């Protein structure tokens, strides 16, 4: 029974961003990104801990100790081996995703000798000489908003201002941490397809939050339509990232007032699921 409660609670906690996406009007856009990051990361950490704990009997046996017959999940030593392999695979895969994100950041960061550099609201604005319309933001110690000449040629002044505001919002809202989480999940999605839905939900929420910080939503919408074919890289705050239809729909009207009852229920559900997972883990070892 404890194993069932643990599985249901941790998996549900990891999947909360999918439900939050369906009721996103209940949250303010910036708040939704924090909710998604906390619930999803907490669920993954608790799941990894549960898998490691279940693998302890096998680890002890391999080390020459006596076999401990304590498993969260019903079964023999096969369950312990499966838990150990799953935990290692998940941790290593997410580690690979983390390294990829950092490499992409290093590759896309523009050196002082390249392009034209300006200072904008405490961030560095870089204009590159490139025909392709492109806009992205890189966080870290030297945050940058990067746009190209192709973008300047294709967009009107209000649209260009919206794009720059959008990218600057990613930096001011510290979305680098959230984007790192998205990038860490990308390799997992390559072998466990349901993770793709989670990645899309997290990425779309980030773009909604940045869109909401622009002063002219209609100009932001026009800019998004104008350069919707521009590429986006996982783990980087590119203007064309996220679900295009969802973003256009959100930008098509006025921001709704958050639905307090649904919002309260979502927070209560996340706290309950986290409590069940933690309680099950603690009670197991008492």
pTM value is: 0.86
pLDDT digits (tens, 9 = 90+) for 153-163: 999 999 999 99
- Given this model, what pLDDT does residue 100 score? 92
What is the SS3 assignment for 231? Answer: coil
Residue 55 in contact with residue 87, Cβ under 8 Å?
yes
8-22, 36-50, 216-230 — which is least confidently predicted?
A: 216-230
- Given this model, what pLDDT does residue 139 score? 86
**Average pLDDT score, the chain:** 84
Which has more confidence, 5 or 11?
11
- Given this model, what pLDDT does residue 159 score? 93
Structural domain spans, the chain: 2-285
- Given this model, what pLDDT does residue 286 score? 58
Single out the residue of 256, 223, 262, 228 nearest to residue 242, CA to CA: 228
Residue 190 in contact with residue 196, Cβ under 8 Å?
no
Residue 52 has pLDDT above 90, yes or no: no
pLDDT digits (tens, 9 = 90+) for 114-146: 889 988 777 899 999 988 888 999 988 888 999
Which has more confidence, 255 or 159?
159
* Percent of all residues in the chain with a pLDDT value above 90, rounded to a whole number: 37
pLDDT digits (tens, 9 = 90+) for 9-36: 888 999 999 999 888 888 888 999 999 9
Which has more confidence, 240 or 29?
29
pLDDT category of residue 149 using cuts at 50, 70 and 90: very high
Question: 192 burial class (0-12, 13-18, 19+ CB within 10 angstroms)?
Answer: middle
Cα–Cα distances in angstroms (integers) from residue 209 to residues 38, 72, 86, 266, 270, in the given order: 16, 39, 34, 18, 21
Residues 6+ apart with CB under 8 A from 6: 50, 72, 276, 277, 280, 281
Residue 254 has pLDDT above 80, yes or no: no
Q: Give the residue carrying structure tokens 């919707």.
A: 228
- Given this model, what pLDDT does residue 269 score? 93
Q: How far is C-alpha 238 from the geometric centre of its chain's CA atoms?
A: 14
Q: State the average pLDDT over residues 70-94.
A: 78
pLDDT category of residue 184 using cuts at 50, 70 and 90: very high
Pairing relationship of beta strands 123-128 and 144-148 according to DSSP bridges: parallel
Q: Using CA atoms, how far apart are residues 98 and 95, in angstroms rounded to an integer?
A: 5
CA atoms 56, 60, 61, 63: torsion sign: positive
Residue 151 has pLDDT above 80, yes or no: yes
* Percent of all residues in the chain with a pLDDT value above 70, rounded to a whole number: 85
Token pair belonging to 98? 């983390």
- Please calculate the CA angle 131-99-10 and round it to the nearest 5 degrees: 115
């Amino acid at each position: 029974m404890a194993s069932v409660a643990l599985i249901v609670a941790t998996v549900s906690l990891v999947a909360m961003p999918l439900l939050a996406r369906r009721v996103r009007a209940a949250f303010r856009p910036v708040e939704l990104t924090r909710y998604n990051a906390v619930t999803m990361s907490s669920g993954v950490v608790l799941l990894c801990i549960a898998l490691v704990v279940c693998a302890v009997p096998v680890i002890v046996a391999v080390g020459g100790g006596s076999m401990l017959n304590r498993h969260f999940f019903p079964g023999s030593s096969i369950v312990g081996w499966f838990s150990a392999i799953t935990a290692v695979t998940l941790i290593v895969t997410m580690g690979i995703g983390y390294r990829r994100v950092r490499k992409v950041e290093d590759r896309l960061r523009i050196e002082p000798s390249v392009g034209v550099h300006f200072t904008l609201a405490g961030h560095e604005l870089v204009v590159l000489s490139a025909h392709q319309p492109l806009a992205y933001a890189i966080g870290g110690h030297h945050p940058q908003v990067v746009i190209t000449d192709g973008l300047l040629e294709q967009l009107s002044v209000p649209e260009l201002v919206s794009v720059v505001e959008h990218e600057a919002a990613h930096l001011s809202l510290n979305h680098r941490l959230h984007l790192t989480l998205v990038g860490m999940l990308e390799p997992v999605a390559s072998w466990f397809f349901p993770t793709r839905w989670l990645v899309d939900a997290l990425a779309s929420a980030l773009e909604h939050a940045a869109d909401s910080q622009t002063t002219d939503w209609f100009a932001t919408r026009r800019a998004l339509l104008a350069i919707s074919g521009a590429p986006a890289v996982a783990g980087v705050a590119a203007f064309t990232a996220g679900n295009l239809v969802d973003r256009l729909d959100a930008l098509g009207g006025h921001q709704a007032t958050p639905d307090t009852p649904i919002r309260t229920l979502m927070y209560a559900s996340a706290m309950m699921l986290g409590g069940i997972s933690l309680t099950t883990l603690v009670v197991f070892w008492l």
